[in-house]
Structures are given as structure tokens and as C-alpha cells.
Amino acid sequence: MRITNTIHFRNLRGDIFGGVTAAVIALPMALAFGVASGAGAASGLWGAVLVGFFAALFGGTPTLISEPTGPMTVVMTAVIAHLTADNPENGMAMAFTVVMMAGVIQIILGSLRLGKYVTLMPYTVISGFMSGIGIILIILQLGPFLGQASPKGGVIGTVQNLPQLLSNINFGEAGLGILTLLILFLMPSKFKRIVPPQLVALVAGTVLALFLFPEPEAIRRIGEIPTGLPSLQVPTFTAGEFQTMLIDALVLGMLGCIDALLTSVVADSLTRTQHDSNKELIGQGLGNVASGLFGGIAGAGATMGTVVNIQAGGRTAVSGLTRALILLVVVLGAASLTATIPMAVLAGIALKVGINIIDWEFLKRAHKVSLKAALIMYGVILLTVFVDLIVAVGVGVFVANILTIERLSKLQAQDVKTITDADDQILMNNEEKELLDRANGRVLLFHLSGPMIFGVSKAISRQQVAMKDHDVLIVDLSDVPHVGVTSSLAIENAIKEAYEKGRQVFIVGAQGQTARRLQDLGVLAMLPPNNVLMDRREALEQAVALVNPRVAEFNTVGSGYL
């Protein structure tokens, strides 16, 4: 695979066509996400323009299309809701400041070259997190989809007010929402390749609404979007809200990183190239800083727009720049045409996005793969929907890692063995077997194999307690490429206990990281230099000589070693 992250014009036709196609899809999505977030349709459009432009110009994935996405909108909705509730006068400005802060966090992560670590989390957690976000997006759209304002209190408030929403349905607006979903779900694939179903639903719903409800007040509509350049949003902080804003920015920034880099992986698989994750985070960060500075909502890499861009011929960042410039023309010159778009149509589009975000495939088979994995995923979903996004990811990653460490530790513990006579537990040559047999059980070979992570320390301690009576202990580390601090301390305890009981100790085969770790902890310094060896046979010879000099002499002469 090759890394392609420069702008060139050798694929100009494909890039322009890809950018135009992506712009057509982005328009209804940006309007829907802007309205859904609570910032307004104009903020959604400016987010699509600015995040898309700067991420394409400075990012590390040439074909990536960046814009407001479903997951980012869910977080943005919560940020705007609680900041405007706590500070009605400056809440919206503070929300845009959170977007800027999230961008700065992404820039820092990219500058520190931490991009490759962002997506290192179990799939069960990612699946549960994304499915939870999809459910949140669906729940938050129920109010406008049914022709009413969204209840206060976010997800919990909507669920609590669901009976009231159902008893007061505006059937005209609900009908438009249902029509939108029918178009999105049932539009034939051959037509989808010609025109995006989101755009068809937007136009059809708007035209039908104008015909059925000619009076402007009959149904809820977007209203006219101001044309021209947006006003500059001065970063706004208050001492009481700074900690909350910082936490919101961390959530928004980390989610944007995950969203963008996962989409970059999809783009790599389609184009057979390799993205630069650190550069991509910097580009995403610059895009979000610019978006927040001019009143746009946060964005990230969008899978749908990226795939469409690639399928339409986009191969370089020119496609993303083209898409952003087309949307800029719409915002500056044709924004007034969006005034008649019904809110229910946008709610239908956003609701369909929520349905698509849910990981239906894994939900259907997670319990077949692993009951523990399924429980982790369902737990993350519940925590995401009803508690908090950070708590969900934190708890999910913690539990998944603990279970993984437990499994690895159990497997690795099988390679911690104590041997007093020649058998088939470890691979030994005939000379080593003969020496061990002639030691008459007075020499204990403590054999470790594989990486000694901290979970293996229990197995080391367990074997240490179970050690039979012996005169010489040989700790064989020949097959240990890595030893953790906890396991190193467990080895140290075994050596100390042997010395306390008057036994001789040899360490065999410690090299590389293993030797450095034992040296740093002072374990090797506990032994005489002649007792730290690289050859197991030599250690066995010395051990046999210690427990039975006459047997050792006979073995050495009879075997021809001297």
C-alpha cells in the first residue's frame, strides 16, 4: 500500500465529479444535523463547509469527506442543550467555543503522533458506542418527526414525554416524516446511483408541503437562513462552566478522532492507499477550530460522503475542496431557498441516519460469538444512551481489557512450569535430560515461556508456593521476550525465598528487554556473576556439581564434555 496525501490535478475530472456528488449528499445532511443539534440549519451548513475544506486541505486521507456526522451531532446536541440552559445569554457562544477546544485537542493529539492509538479499542466497545449513539439520534428526532418541539431533558426527557408526544401527533408533519423514510428505505438502487435519496426526499417533501400546506404557519419549517459570511464567534468562557466545557471538548474531540480515523480505514480499503493518521487529526482539528470560530457545528470524517466520493471518481483532496466550495456557493447565494423545508423532513433524514449507525449485523450475532462480548456491548449501549458517553467508553474499555488480560494470563500461565526430572513438558536435548535425571530431584528447573505480563505473576507465585524440596533453583528465561514489572517482582520473590532457605540460584537465558528489566530492578545483582548464564546445559552442569560432585564428574567424563 502507498501513502497518498498530496494534492495534485492528475485526476481532476474524477475529483470534481466526486466533489459534486458528495456536495449533493452533504446538503440535506448538513441541514438536518444543524437543526437536530439545536444550533440551526446555517450552523450545519457552515460546519460542512469549514470542516470539509480544512480537513481536506491539511488532512492525511485524500479521499476523506469531513462534515457534521450523526455521532458528532448527538454530542453537539447535548453540549448546546446544557450550556444554553445554564447560561441562556452566552450558552450558544460557549458551545461554539467547545467546538474550537475540541479542534485544539485533536491538533495536540496529532502533533504528539498519537493517532495510531486512538482506535485501539475492542470492537465490542466501538459497536456498542456507535449503536448507542444511533439510538440517541433516533430518540431525539421523535419530537420533530411527530410534528412537535423536542422535549427538554434530552433522551430521558423525550422518553418520559413519549406518551404526550404520541397523543398530540401533528398528522400532517408526521406524514411528511413517514414519506421521507419511505423514500430513503424504498428508493430503488438503480436510481440511487443517479441521485441521492436524501436529496430526493428533501425536494419531494418540500414540494408536497408547499402544495398541501401553503400557509407558512401551517407546519414548522426551517425558516430563511441568513446569506453572506457568518459573524466571528469570540471564544467565550466562564469560570463556573470551564471544567464542563473542557470535558465536553474532550468527548467531542475524541469522538471526532475515532469517527474520522475509522472512516479513513474504510477509505484505505477502497482506494488501496494508506492514510497518515497524525496528519489527519491535525486537519480535523483545524477544521473544527475554523467551524467553531464562524458558528459552525463540529464535524468529522463521514463514511457515506467518503464512499460516494470514491465511487464517483474522487482520489485526491481536490474532491473534498470542490465539495466545500460548492456548499459555500449554496450558503452564500441560495440559502434563502431552504426557508420552506419542513422540519419533519429533516427529522426523517436524521432518524434514518440514526438507524444506519446502529450496528445491526453485530447485534444479531454478538451472543453467538461470545456471551461476555455481547454483555459488554449491551452495557456500553445502555450507558451511552442513559448515562454518559465518556462513562460508556471508559467502562467498556476497562471491562473488555480486564477480560482480555484474564484470558491471556490463563493461557500464559500454562507456560510457567517447575521441573525436577526429564519429561515432555519442555523441549530439552538428551544431554540436558540426562543431567536433570542424575540430579535425583535436587535441582528444580523453573521454566517460563512467552511474554510475562502482570497477570502471569499469580502463576509464578503459585508455582513458587508449590515448589518441592530442592537444593538448586534454575530460573530459565530463554523463551521470555518480555517481562513486566509485576512478573519481575514475582521472580525476585522466588529468588529471595530460595536464598532464605539456603539454596543456590541460577538465571539462564535472560537477554534483551528481559535482562534490562531484571538489571534495573536489581534482580541480577542478587546473584554471583557465574550464576547468570546463557546456556541451560551449563547451568545444569554447575547445579549437578553442587548437589552431587561425584555424579557431575562421572557425567562430564563419561559424556566426553571435558
Query: Which of 103-117, 148-162, 237-251, 525-539 shows the highest mean pLDDT?
Result: 103-117
Mean pLDDT of 482-487: 83
Residue 472 CB contacts under 8 Å (≥ 6 apart), including other chains: 439, 442, 443, 444, 503, 504, 505, 506, 543, 546, 547
Give the C-alpha separation, 430 to 487, whole Å.
Answer: 31
Domain borders along the chain are 10-403, 414-558
Which has the higher per-residue pLDDT, 540 or 227?
A: 540
Amino acid identity for residue 210 in this structure: L
Residue 509 backbone class (left: φ over 0; alpha: ψ -120 to 50; beta: rest) = left
Give the per-residue pLDDT at 559: 45
Among 168, 169, 166, 179, smallest CA distance to 212 is for 179
pLDDT tens, 287-307? 999 999 999 999 999 988 898
Give the C-alpha separation, 351 to 353, whole Å.
Answer: 5
Grid cell at residue 316: 485526491
pLDDT category, 426, cuts 50, 70, 90?
low
Strands 66-67 and 273-274: unpaired
Give the per-residue pLDDT at 130: 83
Amino acid identity for residue 91 in this structure: G
Which region among 56-60, 289-293, 316-320, 328-332 has the lowest average model confidence (pLDDT)? 328-332
Contact at 8 Å (CB) between 488 and 523? Answer: yes
Q: Give the 3-state secondary structure of residue 448.
A: strand
Q: What is the DSSP letter of 452?
A: B
Give the C-alpha separation, 290 to 52, whole Å.
Answer: 10
Q: What is the DSSP letter of 420?
A: S
Amino acid identity for residue 356 in this structure: N
Phi, psi of 532 (to 5 degrees): -110, 110
Give the C-alpha separation, 320 to 300, whole Å.
Answer: 13
pLDDT category, 561, cuts 50, 70, 90?
very low
pLDDT category, 414, cuts 50, 70, 90?
low
Q: What is the DSSP letter of 39?
A: S
CATH of domain 414-558: 3.30.750.24
Phi, psi of 537 (to 5 degrees): -65, -40
Contact at 8 Å (CB) between 32 and 297? Answer: no
State the pTM of this model: 0.76
Give the C-alpha separation, 382 to 144, whole Å.
Answer: 24
DSSP bridge pairs for 473: 444, 505
Contact at 8 Å (CB) between 72 and 259? Answer: yes
Q: Is the dihedral of CA 123, 129, 132, 136 positive or negative?
A: negative
Helices (H), 59-186: 70-86, 91-111, 115-118, 123-145, 154-160, 162-167, 171-186
Q: Give the 3-state secondary structure of residue 309.
A: helix
Place of cell 571435558: 562
Give the per-residue pLDDT at 12: 87
Phi, psi of 449 (to 5 degrees): -145, 140
pLDDT tens, 89-147? 889 999 999 999 999 999 999 999 988 887 777 888 888 888 888 898 899 889 889 98
Q: What is the DSSP letter of 360?
A: H
Contact at 8 Å (CB) between 309 and 319? Answer: yes
Phi, psi of 235 (to 5 degrees): -55, 130
Amino acid identity for residue 167 in this structure: S
Residue 38 backbone class (left: φ over 0; alpha: ψ -120 to 50; beta: rest) = left
Give the C-alpha separation, 374 to 358, whole Å.
Answer: 15
pLDDT tens, 159-186? 888 899 888 888 999 999 999 999 999 9
Give the C-alpha separation, 282 to 264, whole Å.
Answer: 14
Give the C-alpha separation, 237 to 239, whole Å.
Answer: 7
Residue 143 CB contacts under 8 Å (≥ 6 apart), including other chains: 149, 150, 151, 158, 165, 347
- Residue 286: enclosing H or E segment and its boundaries? helix 277-293
How many residues comprise the chain?
A: 562
